[in-house]
Structure 1
Amino acid sequence: MNKLEEILVENPVVAAIRNEDDLKKCINSDSQVVFVLYGDIINIKSICEKLRNANKLVFIHMDMIEGLKGDYAGLQFIKRYAEPYGIITTKVTNIKHAKQLGLGTIQRVFIIDSLSLDSGIRNIKEVMPDAVEVMPGVASKIINMLQSKVHVPVIAGGLIESKKDVLESLASGAVAISTSTAELWNI
């Protein structure tokens, strides 16, 4: 079990924050791991500082930060300036570069059909991220299939809106879930 997997097993509900209101709720929540899904090159440092000051483990979704190019220089900037634990991205090259920089890596994959499943498996095996976030997270069959083929921790995300969704995703093999539903951050 890698370090990130241990953290996720101990903290299986990940707060996925999309705006300043979510940030405030997250800081006061029980959720220890946070996916930052908003921001820009001006405010990302402040967002991360607030979360770190609240003892949260921060992952920045590189594909969603305005004004930031998702390349090696962009990742260097994020590491030095915002100081997250790691990144989330859909891009294989970002995973490779982030690993070179010593950042934690989560690869987000969208599984909508068998072709995207095969492509996702190929990409994951190529770059071996620390974890994979599969979307939509309520697709327990997909989580189970992916987990059995790639052998890295799977985080379920997307459309997780109830405690039942959390439990079903975890029961299907996900080590954690990410949700923007603030009411679930305290379960």
Structure 2
Amino acid sequence: MDFLQEVMKGKRVGGAIRRLEDLEEVLRHPNIQTIFLLGSDINHVPTVVKRVKAVDKILLVHIDLIEGVGKDKAGIHLLKRMGIHGVVTTKSNLAKFAIEEGLWVVQRIFIVDSESLKTAIRVAGDVRPNAVEIMPATVPQFVIDDLKKSLGLPVLAGGLLKTEESLKEALGKGIDAVSTSLRHLWSGKL
């Protein structure tokens, strides 16, 4: 299945929220179809899932940042039973468990130097997530080119985007979509 159509729903900007207080705003936003939950605890996930599904949006939970859920196969299974659409994680073992559960998987990778790029390509190549998300979104063009050529996966990005200009620049380099918590970038007037 096509991640960019099925998960991002053809949009190039996903709304990232760190606090539950921000949920209502992202649910109401007409341009945001994909919500990245970057913080909370397991007790709130069922309510978030219910609210997101009620407005026919997609929920990706950053499992590394959710408190109270086991960072293991059972924790992934629990999240699947709760009804999430997918996970974001930096951990290969969690990505593999999520793939086994039939969830959408975004493997987040931090690019700090050429060696981290090589490692990211090797690890994501072994895991085969549905997409990778690079941090920060301001990486050089060759990083995106190398990831796409080596992995053949959609490349998302997040971090260090502040202005519409920086958003346009990131997308202009070949990044397929971004996740951002900055409300003024949710409009997606690109």
Q: TM-score, normalised by structure 1?
A: 0.94
Partner of 2:26: 26
Identity of aligned residues (%): 35
* Change in 2 beyond 3 A, CA 1:9/1:174: farther
Q: Distance in 1 between matches of 2:158 and 2:90?
A: 13
Aligned position for 2:38: 37
Counterpart amino acid of residue 113 in structure 1: D
Which position in structure 2 is the counterpart of 1:114? 114
Separation in structure 2 between the aligned mates of residue 114 and residue 174 of structure 1, nearest angstrom: 18
* 1:31 partner letter: I
SS at match of 2:67: coil
Q: Give 1:178's aligned amino acid.
A: S
Distance in 2 (CA, whole Å) between partners of 1:162 and 1:57 is 25
Ranges in structure 1 where 5+ consecutive residues have no aligned partner: none
Equivalent-residue separation in structure 1 for 2:34 and 2:140 (angstroms): 22
Contact persistence 1:131–1:155 (CA under 8 A): yes
- State the Cα distance separating 1:110 from its structure 2 match: 0.3
CA distance in 2, matches of 1:63, 1:125: 20
Partners of 1:153 and 1:44 in 2: how far apart?
26
Q: 1:6 — aligned with what?
A: 5
Q: CA contact under 8 A between 2:9 and 2:33: conserved in structure 1?
A: no
Query: C-alpha distance in 2, partners of 1:129/1:10?
Result: 19
Structure 2: stretches of 5+ with no match in the other structure: none
SS in 2 for 1:63: helix
Q: Is the 8 A contact 2:157 2:175 kept in 1?
A: yes
TM-score (norm 2): 0.92
* Aligned twin of 1:50: 51
Distance 2:147 2:9 in 1: 18
1:77 matched residue in structure 2 = 78
Matched, 1:92 2:92: yes
- Deviating beyond 4 angstroms after TM superposition, the runs of 4 or more aligned structure 1 residues are none
Across the aligned residues of Structure 1 and Structure 2, the Cα RMSD in angstroms comes to 1.3
Q: Which position in structure 2 is the counterpart of 1:62?
A: 63
For residues 13-52 of structure 1, give each alpha carbon's deviation from its aligned partner in whole angstroms, at most 9, with x where no partner exists: 0101111232121011120011110111111111121122
